[in-house]
Amino acid sequence: MFGKKKTISDINYLELTPTHIHPHVVGEDGKASVLVPRFKNKVLFEISSLFRSTTVKAKLDKFGSQTWLVIDGKKNVQEIIDNLRKNFGEEIEPAEERVTTFLTELYKFKFISFNELTTRRS
């Protein structure tokens, strides 16, 4: 009713498959920046495009960037965690907690969606 997304309690978070909603760019340092529209309103979007960029770059750190780049709409959260553990080792621990918290924030701010939640709503 007030813009909050519904969650489904009978799904295991580690089995969810995240997918991007917004595009990204990768900088020379290998870190990703998500390109978020400055305005959702079409009129404001068009007006802003006359004066400045229509997107804002949400810059991610090394863990966030790697997580974002691994998201492909096919790998589930557990596979993403396994990939991060392989790349970062002990540095990423506690991996499940960190990654699920990060993905929850991305979902809350509508940077990503989960395939299973999208298909269930339809």
pLDDT in tens, 34-78: 999 877 777 766 676 677 777 889 999 999 999 999 999 999 999
| Chain position carrying tokens 């589930």 | 76
Please, which pLDDT band fits residue 110 given cuts at 50, 70 and 90?
very high
Q: Which two tokens stand for residue 3?
A: 């813009």
Q: Which two tokens stand for residue 74?
A: 């096919």
The answer to whether residue 5 sits within a structural domain is no
- Domain encompassing residue 61: 13-121
C-alpha to C-alpha distance for 67 and 113, rounded to whole angstroms: 14
Per 3-state DSSP, the chain is made up of helix, strand and coil in percentages (nearest 5) of: 50, 15, 35
A 10 A CB-CB count for 42 gives: 8
pLDDT over 80 at 31, yes or no: yes
When the pLDDT of each residue in the chain is averaged and rounded to a whole number, the result is: 87
The confidence score (pLDDT) of residue 84 equals: 97
pLDDT over 50 at 1, yes or no: no
The answer to whether residue 4 sits within a structural domain is no
The answer to whether residue 93 sits within a structural domain is yes
Number of domains in the chain: 1
- State the average pLDDT over residues 16-39: 94
